[in-house]
Structure 1
């Protein structure tokens, strides 16, 4: 029994296998021939692995850039990084985290089956991160044992269903009606970016329609434009930190050459992500129709933020740059306020900033992409600073969660406990339960909450 449980735990930690499993179930439900079941199951798995390989490549090449910026501009503080704080937390909260993850998935599936919140959260590593956050915050709030696991699992399942629904009207604009939802815990900042985009710009003024003279037409190639943009970043950081420091990162390679090669490797990582995304969408969405029609009627997959990059590649670059600028300004403002400095983490600013740019572009074009992503940069600077005290002992680990939703959930639970005790936390849980149940007893035009602009 223990071996089987460990096997399923390992599956849950691998979003690629989770996607493949969902595709397999959908294809079987559609009674597809065996060869189509095999290819339709493998392609989403391989696509996600490709996406992951590209993301790893990006992260690996962002790491030296972050170190050069810290050295060159003499910045010290806390760097938000989901993977870093989760690795610290797992030494003390491993059992609680995995138990909450498993229970949360079950609750999410039950909600999708029996309520109008039909979103199935497929980004397994983000579910894992949120399970870790919940275990840390609930333990700090005085919960323990099975009570902590039950409450944490319920919160995770509810959040996984509700957050994709909140901004689905914006997601439909991004995807031009494709039946996917946002399955990433930076989502509230993306929806804020889209809302702001609608106030400051026009969707028809899209980043993807930027007119480029013929001699600059090579910039329409996403790989080339990303490489050139990142070359500027890397060269500035390299010269600021000095050749002696850069050589400690490069293994003795010339400073300029190292900067240029790292920038180009980053661009290759982005291209690999795009290729993986296309493979995922090409087979996961048709297979998911089997789940949506046969098992969980009208089910909608909530997928990783990088899946949306192909819908507006130019907005990806604009969003990253604007978010990073917002992060720098936010850090300066925290310094003036006498707060702990939150150093802009290039990983959250790339992935979350790019996605915020895409959402801002969908409602406000170029201005929406830039301003929306800039606001995202401020949000993922201020919220981690507010989250640190709520994490208890983990708050001293010199890192914190980087994406917006983690901060919102952690701060909400922590502050409710601070002012109202455990009753406040249970009250929030009861409110979320009511949010998913009540609409099922109301007559609405659509069977899915907030889909098709309901």
Structure 2
């Protein structure tokens, strides 16, 4: 029992170590040499640690903005969100998350092996974040022990199997082939964009027919654009709440301009660190996972991270990002003024770029430029409602995390699983 307790409490509750073990197993199964196994294992562990630290920086960079929106919309302190926090939640439920992730992935492999749904979900960090969210929903629903693991496993497996299969025909329209599908929380928003593009678009005029001036090519760098967007948002919100309240709400003696600029840069730095961790982890864990799946499932199609589709329509990515920022921020302020949600929602820069940038590529594939614009504009509006409606299902656990990274399938499936969780 001492050995079991050590494994559960000291290893499985540490996501970095657990993912490192999975990577090691994949490399061992492939009969890699000792040096490759050690290298792949340690790089996976380090990548997850970097990803986690980047996440913490992003959350800390946006927390003052959350307080400012509470003040702007006059949300009383007792109604503001006071979650457990993503970091503490990981420490407390890391083993359940890890086990759900492993079991869901194994179910995905079995389904791909024995059914026509031959999609293997290989986006390493999303293999982790979906069980993370479903575990939080299970805790919020009052489940405990094995019930948490079963709940998170079932919903994670459903997502890993169903979502990539739904988006696969739309990916085929974009790429002209069938070598991969998407394994990313953009899928729901991308389906909406693709269907709207098909209904209202015009395939004869593509986003790629547009020639963007060199002066705005910096918009292709998400770390720069996100820093600038957060800087502007902090500045505008600070002016709206009044300069006399800025010091007390933001907790700083710096000028509004300086504080806003530094918070924007901090956001960009956190995103840069997070992306570095994602790249490092993906570079090691995907070959390990793929080695397992290749041996068990011939002819399987990998479900991969969203940026893999960006090169097929890079202009669409920029259009989707800009269009969704406009529609989402407009929606955010309208929702805030009407008091529809009893808590503050902040701009979702990351979702606008990755999820809705991808949705614009899908919209362009079905309806050209018009499809990309309509699809990403609608996705920007939906995103705000998704995150707002999902917060009650994560309110006491990881609502701080979903406010930064939600508005996508992570939010949408939180709502679905949360409603079902209430039954239990």
State the TM-score, normalized to the length of structure 2: 0.71
Once residues 155 and 149 of structure 1 are traced to their aligned partners in structure 2, the CA distance between those partners, rounded to angstroms, is 10
1:109 corresponds to which residue?
106
2:33 corresponds to which residue?
33
Contact 1:23 1:41 survives alignment (8 Å): yes
Q: Structure 1, residues 130-188: CA drift from partner, whole Å, max 9, x if none?
A: 12213434x4xxx7776676455434433333233332444567789797665555642
Cα gap change, 1:81/1:119 in structure 2, threshold over 3 Å: closer, same or farther? farther
Cα gap change, 1:332/1:273 in structure 2, threshold over 3 Å: closer, same or farther? closer
Structure 2 gaps, min length 5 = none
1:269 corresponds to which residue?
270
Q: 5 Å matches for 1:289-438?
A: 289-295=290-296, 297=298, 319=320, 322-331=323-332, 339-341=340-342, 343-346=344-347, 349-365=348-364, 367-383=370-386, 386=389, 391=393, 402-405=406-409, 408-409=412-413, 411-412=415-416
1:450 corresponds to which residue?
none
1:5 corresponds to which residue?
8
How many residue pairs match? The answer is 402
Structure 1 gaps, min length 5 = 423-454
Once residues 275 and 313 of structure 2 are traced to their aligned partners in structure 1, the CA distance between those partners, rounded to angstroms, is 11
| RMSD of aligned alpha carbons | 4.7
Once residues 315 and 52 of structure 2 are traced to their aligned partners in structure 1, the CA distance between those partners, rounded to angstroms, is 21
Once residues 22 and 171 of structure 2 are traced to their aligned partners in structure 1, the CA distance between those partners, rounded to angstroms, is 21
Contact 2:171 2:182 survives alignment (8 Å): yes
SS at match of 2:345: coil
Q: 5 Å matches for 1:34-433?
A: 34-71=34-71, 73-74=72-73, 76=75, 84=83, 99=96, 102-103=99-100, 105-113=102-110, 114-116=113-115, 117=117, 118-120=119-121, 122=124, 123=126, 124-137=128-141, 139=142, 150=150, 153-170=153-170, 182-185=182-185, 187-199=187-199, 200=201, 202=203, 205-206=206-207, 211-215=211-215, 222-248=222-248, 249=250, 251-295=252-296, 297=298, 319=320, 322-331=323-332, 339-341=340-342, 343-346=344-347, 349-365=348-364, 367-383=370-386, 386=389, 391=393, 402-405=406-409, 408-409=412-413, 411-412=415-416
State the TM-score, normalized to the length of structure 1: 0.67
Bigger drift between 326-335 and 368-377 goes to 326-335
Alpha-carbon distance, 1:304 to partner? 6.5
